[in-house]
């Protein structure tokens, strides 16, 4: 059989040849700013590869991107990966110190930056001696004639393309070559790098396109609201051209009004993002009466979404919600609810797609038998699963080649996965374990509750005790005794939190998940009497 390397550029090549007029649209504030066909996108991206080569980049060199979901960011994706460079997506919500450490570890030679992030760049650039060139993606060059404290040469994306752009042969390297670099959000420790290969991303894309997965077709209009700086935008920038689907990119504005307007105007059929985005869209639709007649499916990832919130999104948007579970270390898709199959409380995270193996073990790593209807530590194995973290020489796998996700989970008889919580989030009180996820799931069903989290705080007698933190929907009220009362009879009495904190705005991590590290460090305890833990 032919040797045919599985490289990322082939998805855009396919789209340019067979769906040349398929649109890519990018917007700001819910209003389209530009659109181009796949053939044009392929041409621009390919010539941009030549421009980066003219700057002296060689195979394997890293190009850092500090950018939102825009046309120029998408061009940079394919320009870097197609030529054998590494697209290192940087999360602009990280601190400057974290970003500097990541750029230093990756030895990025180029930074491609959105103009709205110039203030961040001014702080960051002097801390990044490896950076030789800065490319302003969407203007902003006039504001940045030079970077104080940095020797980097500054270009604009379009002028670099015009002056140095040249056709380049794509994909002339081994499929195991690195393609993308992404760092974890750091909510459970320091950010760690995951280096994706062309092969791993290619196979991940095929998993995403399966009929029981994201299942895009050339008739779909896809809103990529998940940030492109997080795990390759869930792999959607590859899956959409692979299917020939229209892409809609929202830019930096992901508020409910902007997203709802954009979805209506562009006829979006499938939309993907974390749950907090769809809360904003549901709120806007509820207050304005706006309708989204084309929207069929909403993909939700990130932290587990309470049942009440899922129902609210379905009712307000009139769509099917596809819940999912994944991690940066998985490229990131792990499981997903198939199209046309409604999620349920015990099927909250969907089913694994072909190409990924999952199993449950006990705390010592011994595989549980049977695997169904038990709670265990979730481990995964597959072609798009991390082997070792970037910059380390130590495998992140067990002796059987499985990666420990750090999640507690269970499978039902049909193989649906339910995440039962993070093993690191377990609270040890009086020598016994409390699982915050079970408490969060119950409280999250209350109609007044928008977001909920349970964290442990130190206790001189019991070691740790749980604290309940909630953000209510606008205009709603709920007394602490009502919040705690819904737990009675559903969990052990000593699991019931000692304190309730109501916050106007739940702290979110860089990926849109609730930041429990921040909550542990800053929450102000409000004592609420509760039975002491049982011995």
Residue 184 catalytic?
A: yes
Task: Measure the N-to-C terminal CA separation of the chain; round to a whole number of Å.
Answer: 66
List the pLDDT tens digit at each of the 535 positions of the chain. Answer: 999 999 999 999 999 999 999 999 999 999 999 999 999 999 999 999 999 999 999 999 999 999 999 999 999 999 999 999 999 999 998 889 889 999 999 999 999 999 999 999 999 999 999 999 999 998 766 556 567 888 899 999 999 999 999 999 999 999 999 999 999 875 555 779 999 999 999 999 999 999 999 999 999 999 999 999 989 999 999 999 999 999 999 999 999 999 999 999 999 999 999 887 888 899 899 999 999 999 999 999 865 676 777 888 888 888 999 999 999 999 999 999 999 887 766 556 899 999 999 999 998 999 999 999 899 999 999 999 999 999 898 899 999 999 999 888 899 988 899 888 777 787 878 767 788 888 988 998 899 999 999 988 877 777 778 999 999 998 898 999 899 999 988 888 888 998 899 998 888 876 677 888 788 777 644 443 344 444 3
Q: Does residue 112 sit in the same domain as residue 184?
A: yes
User: Token digits for 252?
Assistant: 């930096």
Mark which of 366, 381, 408 sits at the end of a domain.
408
Q: Both 399 and 453 in a single domain?
A: no
**Last residue of a domain, which of 374, 408, 442?**
408
Q: How far apart are CA 502 and CA 471, in angstroms?
A: 6
We report the CATH number of the domain holding residue 445 as 3.30.300.30
pLDDT of residue 41: 98
Residue 414 inside a domain? The answer is no
Active site residue 516: no
Peptide bond into 332 cis (omega under 30): yes
Active site residue 95: no
Are 181 and 279 members of one domain?
yes
Q: Is the distance from CB of 326 to CB of 333 less than 8 angstroms?
A: yes
Query: Both 306 and 398 in a single domain?
Result: yes
Residues 398 and 457 in one domain: no
Closest CA to 52 of 147, 124, 157: 157
Catalytic residue among 217, 291, 433, 482: 433
Domain containing 503: what range? 426-522
Q: Let me know if residue 9 belongs to a domain.
A: no
- Residue 527 phi/psi, 5° resolution? -55, 135
Whether residues 404 and 460 share a domain: the answer is no
Number of structural domains in the chain: 2
Same structural domain, 98 and 165: yes
Looking at the domain assignment, is residue 7 inside a domain? no
Which tokens hold the place of 483?
A: 């919040």
| Catalytic residue chosen out of the listed positions 65, 76, 89, 184 | 184
Pair (313, 185) in one structural domain: yes
User: From CA 462, how far away is CA 154, in angstroms rounded?
Assistant: 57
In this structure, are 56 and 141 located in the same domain? Answer: yes
Could you please report the per-residue DSSP string of 409-463?
Answer: EEE-TT--EEEEEEGGG-EEETTEEE-HHHHHHHHTTSTTEEEEEEEEEEETTTE
**CB of 367 closer than 8 Å to CB of 381:** no
Catalytic residue among 428, 482, 522, 534: 428
The CATH code of the domain that includes 359 is 3.40.50.12780
Single out the catalytic residue among 266, 329, 464, 471.
Answer: 329
**End position of a domain, from candidates 364, 382, 408:** 408
Residue 41 sits in the same domain as residue 99? yes
Does residue 418 fall inside a structural domain? no
Would you say residue 415 lies in a domain?
no
Q: Is the residue at 529 inside a domain?
A: no
The pLDDT of residue 515: 83
- Whether residue 420 lies inside any domain: the answer is no
Residue 533 lies in a domain: no
What pLDDT is stored for residue 534 in this prediction?
46
Q: Are 265 and 298 in a shared domain?
A: yes
Token code pair at residue 403: 């990666």
Query: Do 34 and 92 belong together in one domain?
Result: yes
Among candidates 75, 34, 71, 68, which has minimal Cα distance to 52?
75
The answer to whether 502 and 528 are in contact (CB under 8 A) is no
The answer to whether residue 513 is catalytic is no
């Amino acid at each position: 059989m032919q040797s045919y390397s599985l490289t990322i550029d082939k998805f855009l090549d396919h789209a340019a040849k067979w769906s040349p007029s398929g649109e890519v649209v990018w917007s700001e504030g819910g209003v389209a700013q530009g659109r181009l066909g796949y053939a044009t996108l392929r041409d621009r991206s390919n010539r941009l590869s030549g421009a980066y080569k003219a700057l002296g980049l060689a195979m394997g060199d890293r190009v850092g991107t500090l950018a939102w979901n825009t046309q120029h960011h998408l061009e940079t994706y394919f320009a870097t990966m197609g030529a054998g460079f590494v697209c290192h997506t940087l999360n602009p919500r990280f601190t400057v110190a974290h970003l500097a450490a990541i750029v230093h570890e990756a030895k990025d030679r180029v930074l491609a930056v959105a103009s709205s992030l110039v203030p961040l760049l001014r702080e960051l650039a002097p801390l990044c001696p490896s950076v030789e060139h800065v490319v302003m993606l969407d203007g902003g060059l006039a504001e940045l004639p030079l970077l104080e404290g940095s020797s980097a040469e500054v270009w604009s994306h379009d002028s670099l393309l015009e002056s140095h752009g040249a056709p380049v042969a794509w994909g002339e390297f081994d499929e195991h070559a690195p393609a993308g670099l992404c760092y974890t959000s750091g909510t459970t420790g320091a950010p760690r790098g995951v280096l994706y290969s062309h092969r791993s991303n290619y196979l991940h894309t095929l998993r995403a396109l399966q009929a029981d997965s994201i299942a895009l077709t050339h008739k779909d209009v896809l809103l990529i609201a998940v940030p492109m700086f997080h795990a390759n935008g869930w792999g959607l920038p590859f899956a959409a051209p692979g299917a020939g689907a229209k892409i809609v990119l929202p830019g930096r504005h992901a508020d409910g009004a902007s997203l709802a307007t954009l979805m209506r105007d562009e006829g979006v059929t499938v939309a993907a993002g974390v749950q907090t985005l769809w809360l904003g869209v549901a709120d806007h639709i509820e207050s304005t009466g706006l309708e989204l007649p084309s929207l069929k499916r909403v993909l939700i990832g990130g932290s587990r979404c309470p049942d009440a919130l899922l129902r609210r999104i379905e009712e307000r948007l009139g769509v099917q919600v596809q819940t999912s579970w994944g991690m940066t270390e998985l490229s990131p898709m792990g499981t997903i609810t198939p199209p046309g199959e409604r999620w349920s409380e015990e099927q909250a995270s969907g089913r694994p797609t072909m190409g990924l193996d999952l199993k449950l073990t006990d705390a010592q790593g011994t595989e549980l038998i049977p695997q169904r209807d038990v709670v265990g530590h979730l481990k995964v194995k597959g072609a798009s699963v991390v082997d070792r973290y970037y910059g380390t020489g130590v495998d992140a796998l067990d002796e059987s080649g499985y990666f420990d996700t750090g999640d507690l989970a269970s499978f039902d008889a049909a193989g649906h996965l339910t995440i039962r919580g993070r093993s690191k989030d377990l609270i040890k009180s009086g020598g016994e374990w409390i699982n915050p996820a079970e408490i969060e799931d119950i409280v999250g069903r209350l109609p007044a509750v928008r977001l909920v989290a349970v964290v442990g705080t130190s206790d001189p007698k019991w070691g740790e005790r749980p604290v309940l933190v909630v953000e209510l929907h606008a205009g709603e009220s709920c007394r602490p005794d009502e919040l705690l009362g819904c737990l009675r009879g559903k969990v052990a009495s000593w699991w019931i939190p000692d304190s309730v904190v109501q916050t106007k705005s739940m702290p979110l991590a860089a990926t849109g998940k609730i930041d429990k590290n921040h909550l542990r460090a800053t929450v102000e305890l409000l004592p609420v009497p509760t039975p002491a833990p049982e011995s």
